[in-house]
Structure 1
């Protein structure tokens, strides 16, 4: 996956430019461009009490580059939430990790657990490291009716479901009708009609793809939501969930 250069926006209206303090006509402003499918992945980390008198458990994490030692100075910590009623007591926390770390699409996810006891003493457990990496998901539309295809997926047996839009091959990321704009233009009639027209120009069968990120070895549960748009701009939805069984794979 390639990093796209930042887009340039140029102020061309002299009257508008005069009202912007410190910005004169003809000045180019750099606007950061998103990487394809840039965002976050959510995964649930769990701790099960194996001894008595545990007051709390803290989850600590740090991200790092491949082949580099972990820098614990950048540690983030979270107090894990007890799941009352479980025996032995289970504690959990949903962790948000980015799709990219300092521009790299593969990176290391380091973490540890710190136990605090009711008598005030503490113990830090072993350090764990997982490789976070991308996985490409593909859906081939033979019907020709799909305008949007969304991946509905989760790690850890649907512990925290999330949605990722697939993009059709032939439509560039950042195009005005790309799914890169869907977060704030979904349901916009002009956008939906424009995207429908752009998708219809692409030869059949149409291949939709997305990338998701997860620690290597994690099982991914997923299914697809297909959206078509009629001539009035109304969306119609259907699902492909493998006959009710959903799809599974290990990254």
Structure 2
């Protein structure tokens, strides 16, 4: 969203207004505040054909609050992609759901399947509901070398991997060198060296934490990607994947 700053709105001379702000068009960008670890989770939903002559399967979904009836007027629908070569035929779709729904960190994910046949007839499955909830993951750094730690994780058997950055205890979310800025400042030397200095001030061992969101009861596979900065200012990385076995937990 773009806003017109009050100081610029009162400035009669556009050229002097531009020089005061250091931008070319007198417009400032308003960066919205974010909740810690706010973002999206990706779920792979599947349908397996149990009968012949199915032309397509549509996945329908809606989000809702706890203890409230589902509002199907807000339904989103997606035609599932056939995975040709599977028998019986498997169809899938990767769904993106938010970490928060209207400010709530726990909410309901409602969905159904609509089956369309070659002859034009259709039927709709039962409705399904899953509770979406957060889970805290932590990593304790005893080495003192980690500047960033990223959680590499996926629901089920690595059906759709995703990454979540952990924040170290002692750096406030949203502050200058918080990982909340990593999405657009990763690799920026000023940011990375500032974060390194901020992390080094924190007593050992350092605890890094993150929150991820997933349906309750789902198994999560995960490992850690640790990044440090060498003497020349270059990012170095290593992995902790539990000796090749990866880690597992249930939401």
Partners of 1:44 and 1:156 within 8 A in 2: no
CA distance in 2, matches of 1:238, 1:31: 33
User: Structure 2 stretches of 5 or more lacking a match?
Assistant: 22-27
Work out the number of aligned pairs and report it.
238
The RMSD of aligned alpha carbons is 2.2
Change (3 A) 1:18 1:116: same
Q: Is 1:16 the counterpart of 2:37 in the alignment? A: no
Unaligned runs of 5+ in 1: 1-8, 21-27
- Cα distance change on mapping 1:222 and 1:29 into 2, 3 Å: closer
Q: Which residue of 2 aligns with 1:129?
A: 129
Report runs of 4+ in structure 1 exceeding 3 Å deviation.
9-15, 17-20, 28-31
For 1:181-196, list aligned pairs within 5 A. 181-196=181-196
1:155 paired residue number: 155
Q: Name the residue aligned to 1:242.
A: 242
How far apart are 1:29 and its partner, in Å? Answer: 9.2
Residue 230 of structure 1 and its aligned partner are, at CA, apart by 1.7
**Following the alignment from structure 1 to structure 2, what is the Cα–Cα distance between the partners of residues 80 and 19?**
53
Q: Are 1:72 and 2:43 counterparts?
A: no
SS in 2 for 1:248: strand
SS, match of residue 245 in structure 1: coil
- Cα distance change of structure 1 residues 199 and 19 upon mapping to structure 2, 3 Å threshold: closer
Matches within 5 A, 1:196-215: 196-215=196-215
Deviation per CA, 1:176-222: give whole Å up to 9, x if none: 11000001111110000000000000000000000000000111000
Partners of 2:95 and 2:140 lie apart in 1 by: 32
CA deviation after TM superposition for structure 1 residue 31, in Å = 4.4
Aligned equivalents of 2:165, 2:201: Cα separation in 1: 20
Deviation at 1:232, TM superposition (A): 2.3
1:95 aligns with 2:69: no
* Cα offsets for 1:113-132 (capped at 9, x unmatched): 00000000000000000000
String of CA shifts for 1:4-54, please: whole Å, max 9, x gaps.
Answer: xxxxx976686437999xxxxxxx996420111010000100000000100
C-alpha displacement of 1:231: 2.9
Report the equivalent of 1:4. none
Q: TM-score, normalised by structure 2?
A: 0.90
